[in-house]
Chains A and B, each alone.
Chain A
């Protein structure tokens, strides 16, 4: 299979990596002493031999019966530090209460092991390697016990932290067997358990970090305290692409507690750091500082003007993403046709914990404590900056106060390293909320133009989806690559338009790249939010124009319910049909005010409590892997002065749901996230500066906006799929469609405001 960018993204998120299964005689808690105290390791902690195993978590079993597991993904709320122990406990036969979860760090022991957290891959990417690692450990423990008792391994089993001889009932704990097990040969192909023998997987298990979080003892990046540590805030150039010209440190140095004022040339936006004994002195020092900036080449950049540029670009040649049949010709020939333009504005991530990083640079080495999704990049950045080997940089990953893709960037790391080096002390760089809003890697604005040619029944036979806007990352195509119109053709780009799951006789998709000075990066659900908003809204428009039920229309367009091989991704239409049918049933789709009718009748809008109520549907496939259909119900004030999302019912099929409680939580979370660009989240650039400062002007959902959320899971058979992002893209179109159902007002430009409803 050709390795495309999409398959790379997918496979690298699943890539197997090394694992050490070791058995140590030592005291739990003395992490750094572990390697030294390991008397004999069945598989040594040597990275070379570790890589041969290629799973990706570390297991250590002590003579005290404690089973330690190193999480190889960052915990940012997706629950990885709960789900990995579940998998371990089931496959190993461990005692749940004896499992201790640790966080893997970038250090030589974990070399070659993926720690990056992205693409909804925390569970999906670690499931198989962890099971193999656990099965390896289980077989060695059983061999050790069987050897002691002089019985066959087949006559023994591992359960609840012990190996039991089934016939005689004799048993030895894992701790009692740790030493002997370490001398057992490593099984070449350990046998994985049958799913029927799992006790925890598939059950509702609560977060293991719950008590630490509610007690305030959970440690995030900003909570790190290193002896002798100084605090820094950075004055960064406020103009996109601008530069520092000069600065006078004197006014900042006058603030008591400020120790140093130093230039910062690394990171993304360069500037001046104010380093102080505490955060407040650093903040005050920065306020006193008046650096002189060069506005750079983008001084007049304005996002409203940019939207018009994107609109013009839709008529310019771009990249051909999909070419099934001849959609333009059929469109021209169609008697009935429809066209609509949808807008998606720039979005900030705005995780509640602002960016931060603590670095301690010593002669020839460096230690970092950072809440990041990308510890590998953090290590590389630091090593490069310092000119030292990567192995000389240790990166400790703390809990993340939200990630959402923002923490896949590591701009905050080299800043901290550079400042620590400059002042010769450990330094914590703290971003204020205003910094976080202004210096993001924003989710790119996009325009989506949809055209359809319809047959006599109003069904689309030709479909043309054209997108325009900046690339998702700073690493877009090169100048040379831009000249190749087929550059993205096999790449699965853009997600949501290329992998459109519906069956149209003629189906084209195009993308025109429009460059902007705005740094961009992945946001929760990567590229789907914009494309799926447009696609699922447009289908709704077609349904209403043809007086077709929106779910019925989708079901017809998914016939014959087959597999669709798009090279870069495989779509199973039968699974999408199943979630759509189930959401119709679970949401009472055809129900109005308590009366039910068969699926197929258009959901009637109605009036209740003096407001207009309506429902909208949307569905999507995330990366060929996870299938979701969603019905949103809204109420709108009769004078269109406001709307509220009352209820969102979703049906999700992401394969094997390891922890349904966690899957439901992620779906609830993704729905709130997906509401952000609907209810008001938008970053406006004027004069090359983001205009938003905090949650006061970047509107995010709060409790009063939170709908009642119902999540229904279709439990799949095989492996788990990723589910942290799946529900995001359908939220905006489901709400927009519901507002249309309630009011007849079609808003195509996000966010959906009262004014836009009135003007629609």
Chain B
């Protein structure tokens, strides 16, 4: 048996230090999905053109399919699973984007939406009241084959309003899905 080419890498994911044994060129996307079972980050293209694998690094949106685990080592990332603030074992404070997505009934198949939400959350952390043009230029790096763009735009405006109304991120969940609007 030849010596293993795999190495151990440490990275911070959703506030926890995680150690993974992997090939150095493994994209962060596959580390998250296959090794850490954080499957909210989606594989859509693997070549950085669809946005489904978007995660945060220091609040900025990055494509996890374009970052190798060796370069990710020592860095800190947040995935869709870590976007909401956990208040205790049972309750989450959804991020305002997540809540706005529910309020605007954005999702159809929903597959692209974690990536969309991560991008939108990063946008709002830099532009508290983005214009339609800001939204279009940022979100156009993502693909939604269900074409939910109009509702995404509305949801981002709504999230911006929620954030400006309440500086602390997030709103109380238990937010009824499937309720009447």
Contacts and interface: CB of A to CB of B under 8 A. Distances in A.
Interface in B130-146: 135-137, 139-146
Contacts of B41: 216
Contact of B46 (A225, A281, A400, A433): A433
Contacts of A78: 108
Contacts of A22: none
B45 A695 contact: yes
B134 to A, nearest CB: 11
A344 B177 CA distance: 41
A669 B105 contact: no
Interface string A64-97: 0000000000011111001001000000000010
A637 interface: no
A351 B109 contact: yes
Nearest to A223: B39
Given A82-B178, A668-B151, A216 B40 contact: yes
A661 B136 CA distance: 24
Given A205-B180, A401-B111, A700 B145 contact: yes
Nearest to B82: A216
Interface of B (DSSP majority class): loop
Interface of B: 4-6, 22-23, 25-27, 30, 33-35, 37-47, 49-50, 52, 79-81, 84, 92, 94, 97-98, 101-102, 105, 107-114, 117, 135-137, 139-153, 173, 175, 177-181
Given A256-B5, A353-B42, A703-B140, A213 B110 contact: yes
B110 A218 contact: yes
Interface stretch (A7-15, A237-245, A264-272, A704-712): A704-712
Contacts of A695: 45, 49-50, 143
A219 B98 CA distance: 17
Contacts of B114: 213-214, 216
Nearest to A200: B180
A150 interface: no
Contacts of B177: 206-211
Given A213-B110, A215-B98, A665-B151, A700 B80 contact: no
B136 A703 contact: yes
Interface in A167-206: 200, 203-206
Contacts of A220: 42, 111
A703 B44 contact: no
B140 A77 contact: no
Point out which of B30, B97, B153 has the most chain A C-beta atoms below 10 A from its C-beta. B30
A-B residue pairs, 5 tightest by C-beta = A216-B40, A672-B147, A401-B111, A77-B108, A77-B109
Contacts of B153: 703, 706
A314 B4 CA distance: 63
B46 A209 contact: no
A204 B33 CA distance: 35
B147 A673 contact: yes
B47 A694 contact: yes
A214 B109 contact: no
A281 B25 CA distance: 10
16 contacts: A77-B109, A79-B108, A205-B180, A206-B102, A209-B110, A210-B177, A210-B178, A217-B81, A231-B34, A280-B23, A280-B30, A352-B143, A354-B43, A399-B109, A661-B181, A672-B144
Given A216-B79, A220-B111, A703 B139 contact: yes
Interface in A242-286: 256-257, 278-281, 283-284
A729 interface: no
A702 interface: yes
A669 B147 contact: yes
A350 interface: yes
Point out which of A79, A216, A432 has the most chain B C-beta atoms below 10 A from its C-beta. A216
Point out which of A96, A209, A214, A257 has the most chain B C-beta atoms below 10 A from its C-beta. A214
Contacts of A216: 38-41, 79-81, 114
A581 to B, nearest CB: 25
Nearest to A709: B150
Contacts of B178: 82, 85, 96, 205-208, 210
Given A214-B117, A215-B80, A280 B109 contact: no
A402 interface: yes
Contacts of A279: 30, 33-34, 43
Contacts of A694: 45, 47, 49-50
Contacts of B141: 702
Nearest to B113: A213
B101 A210 contact: yes
A135 B10 CA distance: 58
A217 B40 contact: yes
A661 B105 contact: yes
Given A256-B23, A280-B23, A703 B109 contact: no
Given A204-B180, A280-B27, A706 B147 contact: yes
Contact of B181 (A205, A218, A675): A205
B34 A703 contact: no
Point out which of B37, B94, B107 has the most chain A C-beta atoms below 10 A from its C-beta. B107
Contacts of B101: 210, 213-214
Given A257-B23, A703-B152, 14 more contacts: A77-B146, A210-B105, A211-B173, A211-B177, A214-B114, A215-B80, A216-B81, A256-B5, A278-B35, A352-B50, A353-B111, A354-B44, A671-B147, A703-B140
Nearest to A208: B178
Contacts of A219: 39
A38 interface: no
Contacts of B117: 214
A704 to B, nearest CB: 4
B142 A222 contact: no
Interface in A135-167: none
Nearest to B27: A280
A58 interface: no
A702 B142 contact: yes
Nearest to A217: B40
B109 A402 contact: yes
A699 to B, nearest CB: 10
Contacts of B25: 280, 284
Nearest to B138: A703
Nearest to A209: B110
Contacts of B113: 213-214
Contacts of B143: 352, 695, 700, 702
B102 A703 contact: no
Contacts of B98: 214-215
A101 to B, nearest CB: 9
A722 interface: no
Contacts of B34: 231, 278-280
Nearest to B105: A206
Interface in A25-63: none
Contacts of A693: 47
Contacts of B111: 220, 351-353, 401-402
Contact of A256 (B6, B39, B109): B6
A624 interface: no
Given A278-B34, A278-B35, A279-B34, A665 B148 contact: yes
Contacts of B145: 350-352, 402, 404, 672-673, 700
A584 interface: no
Contacts of B112: 352, 401
Contacts of A708: 150
A583 B140 CA distance: 30
A759 interface: no
A57 to B, nearest CB: 17
B33 to A, nearest CB: 7
B40 A665 contact: no
Given A96-B178, A214-B98, A215-B98, A352 B42 contact: yes
Nearest to B40: A216
B105 A77 contact: no
A208 B107 CA distance: 10
A77 B111 CA distance: 9
